């Protein structure tokens, strides 16, 4: 089972402190939200988890394989859905798209379509499918809901929750949309200007605002 443990993380960009003593955990098979407005430091957290950025201080530990669904439904529009998926497994030489089709059956139906011709929700599903091709233990999902209809988001989340329940996938959902994130996750952290300003069970955080 995958887990994430961030302890007293500090990240500086030159003289600017982007993250100041941030601590958060995602336990095995947990689905946790990281909520914050633009500029709060959410991407910096993800980039530190994925190893793109080094902590200035503090520690970051990811147990298991981490995959990241980037913001903005990033697909290769001129490639088919199937080729988009295969790119996701390349780094680990995983070519079989069958397991991802089993999780997201719609992607099997769409496999010959060029990704650029799909709806926004379908493109986001391709982006999630591509991340799942590496068979991750931890999935960090950046702004899943951005620009998507609530029903489309609910459908995507249903699939994530299924994976979370059946295979112990740990999920960190990074969202500007606090309402949605609190609805979807049992536990949440609120990040503002590089600091965690609130954390706890979603129902408690929702009652606060």
Residues that bind ligand ADP (CB under 6 A): 13, 16, 18, 36, 38-44, 117-122
Q: Angle 150-167/120-132 helices, nearest 10 degrees? A: 20
Q: Which residues contact 132 (CB under 8 A, 6 or more apart)?
A: 67, 88, 99, 100, 103, 104, 139, 163
Of 117 and 186, nearer to ligand ADP (C-beta) is: 117
The least CB distance from residue 127 to ligand ADP, in Å, is 15
The least CB distance from residue 131 to ligand ADP, in Å, is 18
Residue, CB closest to ligand ADP: 119
Determine the Cα angle at 67 with ends 62 and 73, to 5°. 140
Residues shown for the chain: 209
The least CB distance from residue 43 to ligand ADP, in Å, is 3
The least CB distance from residue 122 to ligand ADP, in Å, is 5
Reading the block at residue 102, the tokens are 């089993």
Nearest to 137 by CA among 193, 194, 71, 62: 62
Of 43 and 134, nearer to ligand ADP (C-beta) is: 43
The least CB distance from residue 124 to ligand ADP, in Å, is 10
Of 12 and 135, nearer to ligand ADP (C-beta) is: 12
Of 59 and 119, nearer to ligand ADP (C-beta) is: 119
SS3 28: coil
Determine the Cα angle at 45 with ends 40 and 51, to 5°. 150
Q: What φ, ψ does residue 194 adopt, rounded to 5°? A: 85, 5
The least CB distance from residue 143 to ligand ADP, in Å, is 9
- Kind and range of the H or E run holding 66: strand 66-69
Of 29 and 49, nearer to ligand ADP (C-beta) is: 49
Query: What is the spatial distance between Cα 54 and Cα 47, in angstroms, rounded to a whole number?
Result: 9
Of 6 and 29, nearer to ligand ADP (C-beta) is: 6
């Amino acid at each position: 089972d995958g887990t994430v443990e961030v302890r007293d993380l500090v990240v500086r960009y030159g003289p600017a402190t982007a993250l100041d003593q941030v601590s958060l955990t995602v336990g095995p098979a947990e689905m946790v939200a990281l909520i914050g407005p633009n500029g709060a430091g959410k991407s910096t957290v993800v980039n530190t988890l994925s190893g793109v950025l080094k902590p200035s201080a503090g520690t970051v530990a990811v147990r298991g394989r981490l995959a990241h669904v980037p913001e903005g439904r990033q697909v290769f529009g001129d490639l088919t859905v199937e080729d988009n998926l295969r790119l996701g497994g390349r780094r680990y030489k995983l070519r079989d798209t069958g397991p991802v089709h089993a999780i997201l059956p719609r992607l099997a139906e769409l496999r010959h379509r060029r990704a650029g011709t799909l709806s926004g929700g379908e493109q986001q599903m391709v982006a999630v499918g591509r991340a799942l091709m590496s068979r991750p233990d931890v999935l960090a999902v950046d702004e899943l809901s951005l620009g998507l209809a609530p029903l489309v988001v609910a459908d995507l989340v249903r699939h994530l929750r299924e994976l979370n329940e059946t295979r112990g996938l740990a999920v960190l959902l990074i969202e500007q949309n606090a309402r949605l994130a609190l609805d979807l996750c049992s536990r949440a952290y609120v990040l503002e200007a590089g600091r965690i300003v609130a954390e706890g069970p979603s129902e408690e955080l929702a009652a606060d605002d």
